Amino acid sequence: MNRIVHGDNLKTLRRMATASVPLIYVDPPFNTGRRQVRTQMKTIQDDAGDRTGFGGRRYRTELQRPSNAAGYQDTFEDFLGFLRPRLVEAHRVLSDTGSLFFHIDYREVHYCKVMLDEIFGRACFQNEIIWAYDYGARSTKRWPAKHDTILWYTKNPERYTFNLEATDRIPYMAPGLVGATKAARGKTPTDVWWHTIVSPTGKEKTGYATQKPLGVLERIVRVHSNMGETVLDFFAGSGTTGEAAAKNGRAFVLVDESAEAVAIMERRLKQYGYRKARKRSTGSTKKKTPV
């Protein structure tokens, strides 16, 4: 059953059944110390503008000031103290052959890995996946940071879902060295995933700050879960995990405390048949278990 839950993810996790979810992906706040907002631009026809469009017409671009409700404040006094109880619950609800994918950046990954080693056990750490991209400003004072880290943990160190044959394939860097047949088929990815960010002007863009690309989530969903299984994301944001699940025959449970995020997810997932549950007319306040 597909669900979008608007509320505190810790409370939601505590209501979920033990060993009930085969795959969890989370992209928590990164504790960057700043407010995360999605910059939006508007183009206006102007002969003295900074852009050239169709037919040689000139346009100027204007940055749109985001509303107070847009985005979120990405600052925590005790970041690990915030994450730990949620990841302890994630470990509990993960099925015996399930996987957790934890998405973070270079500022906090080292501390988070030590914490996850304590919760899951070091033997259950499977991979440090580097999502590499090449977009945006370039620092002139240090090497520009153009990657995130995704830590993969399993509930069991030896028994887990890994359907490598279901992955997408990537081009060989030197196709002439492997022959035409292999070059046409491509190769399976390694632990470094080169994938562009969500294009600011592309159809995939939802307008939500820190949206992650669908291609990255589809790879995780296809390889690390089976048809008909449930995927959980309790920092669901724009709902990319839900779309990756729905596109590939999986169910989803998405949790976020932001009303903005929930509204975006509901609009985004309508194309896959998602409908909001109607409120009961009996006045009952009893809550259902999400999974």
Model pLDDT for residues 185-217, shown as the tens digit of each residue? 999 999 999 999 998 888 899 878 889 999 999
Domain containing residue 222: 3-33+75-272
Same structural domain, 129 and 242: yes
Residue 291, domain member (yes or no): no
* pLDDT of 290 over the 50 cut: yes
* Residue burial 238-248, b: 16+ Cβ < 10 Å; e: rest: bbbbbbbbbee
Q: Which two tokens stand for residue 195?
A: 């994938």
Same structural domain, 25 and 62: no
| Last residue of one domain, picked from the residues 71, 91, 124 | 71
Q: What is the pTM of this model?
A: 0.81
Q: How far is CA 164 from CA 26, 215, 240, 245, in A?
A: 21, 16, 21, 17
- Give strand pairing partners of 42: 62
Residue 278, domain member (yes or no): no
Residue 163, domain member (yes or no): yes
Same structural domain, 204 and 177: yes
* pLDDT of 271 over the 50 cut: yes
Say which residue, 55 or 126, is predicted with more confidence: 126
Q: What is the pLDDT of residues 72-122, one digit of tens each?
A: 454 668 999 999 999 999 999 999 999 999 999 999 999 999 999 999 999
Same structural domain, 103 and 225: yes
* pLDDT of 129 over the 90 cut: yes
Q: How far is the C-alpha of 217 from the C-alpha of 236, rounded, in Å?
A: 12
CATH at residue 245: 3.40.50.150
The DSSP code sequence of 87-142 is: HHHHHHHEEEEEEEEEEE-TTTHHHHHHHHHHHH-GGGEEEEEEEE---S---SSS
Q: How far is the C-alpha of 186 from the C-alpha of 103, rounded, in Å?
A: 26
Residue 279, domain member (yes or no): no
Could you tell me which of 28, 1, 25 has the C-alpha nearest to residue 222? 25
Residue 289, domain member (yes or no): no
The answer to whether the beta carbons of residues 103 and 26 sit under 8 Å apart is yes
Residue 143, domain member (yes or no): yes
SS3 of residue 40 by DSSP: strand
Q: How many domains does the chain have?
A: 2
Same structural domain, 264 and 167: yes
